[in-house]
Amino acid sequence: MKKIACFALLAVLFTNCKKDNSEQKLEPVKTPAVTDTVSAIKEDTKKESPETKEDCKDIVIEMGDGRECILTNIDLDKAYQNIIKNKQVEESEYFLSALPTEKKSVEVNKNGLISIDYEITKNKVAISMNYEGGVTEVTLEKIDNTVKRSIYHYAD
């Protein structure tokens, strides 16, 4: 029994030994890792490009949740492209590559997403993503030099 214990102890010691290489230096991590979803959302909200600023808040609604953001110095097309580029909505890869100029419906039938409906007016874009288990609504509304982006998730 003592031989097994000694062998196990030696095995642990050998596996924990590190090669000492003076040429390799470890650098400390300069930014802390995000450990939960709430922190990830807060960090995402703080990210700003030099020209566009975001002011976001979470919204709790019956049978769902949402997020509203006020984006400054941006137009509807750029806000729409940012949703696709930054994957701010699940399955945004199925969005049309360019914002349509009139009402349009696109059949998807992938990953539970049935269709995407676009409702276009002069200063407002409403996008409804129809799922088997609910609806996600994305609204972009132009107000002066800002755009209000609203993303709501509703369960059936």
Q: Which residues contact 65 (CB under 8 A, 6 or more apart)?
A: 58, 59, 152, 153
In this prediction, residue 131 carries a pLDDT of 94
Are 72 and 145 in contact by the 8 Å Cβ rule? The answer is yes
What does the pLDDT look like over 21-73, one tens digit per residue?
444 444 444 444 444 444 444 444 444 444 678 889 998 888 889 999 999 98
pTM, rounded to two decimals: 0.65
Q: Which residues contact 27 (CB under 8 A, 6 or more apart)?
A: none
Are 71 and 86 in contact by the 8 Å Cβ rule? The answer is no
